[in-house]
Amino acid sequence: MAASKGQRVAAFLLALGFLLSTIGFTAYVIIELNSEDQGIIAEDALPIEQPPEVAEQQQEAEGDLPCGQETYEAVGERDVPETVTAETPVQELQTIDVKEGDGAEVQPGDCVAALYYGTLATTGETFDGNYDSGSPIEFSLNGVIQGWTEGIPGMKVGGIRRLVIPAEQAYAASERPGIPANSDLVFEVEIVNARQAQ
Q: 131 near 98, Cβ under 8 Å? A: no
Classify 38-195 by CATH class: alpha beta
Least Cα distance to 68 among 88, 50, 90, 85 occurs for 50
Q: Give buried/exposed letters for 122-144 (b at 16+ CB in 10 A, else e).
A: beeeebbbbbeeebbbbbbbbbb
What integer best gives the mean pLDDT of the chain?
80
Q: Give buried/exposed letters for 88-101 (b at 16+ CB in 10 A, else e).
A: eebeebebeeeeeb
Phi, psi (deg, nearest 5) at residue 17: -60, -40
pLDDT at 55 (0 to 100): 43
Task: Tell me the per-residue pLDDT of 50-100, one tens digit each, with 9 for 90 and over.
Answer: 444 444 444 433 346 788 777 787 877 677 667 778 777 999 999 999 999
Confidence of residue 17 (pLDDT cuts 50, 70, 90): confident
Mean pLDDT over 147-162 rounds to 96
pTM exceeds 0.75: no
Select the more confidently predicted residue: 62 or 137. 137
User: Cα 89–140–138 angle (5° rounding)?
Assistant: 100
Q: Give the start-to-end residue ranges of the domains of the chain.
A: 38-195
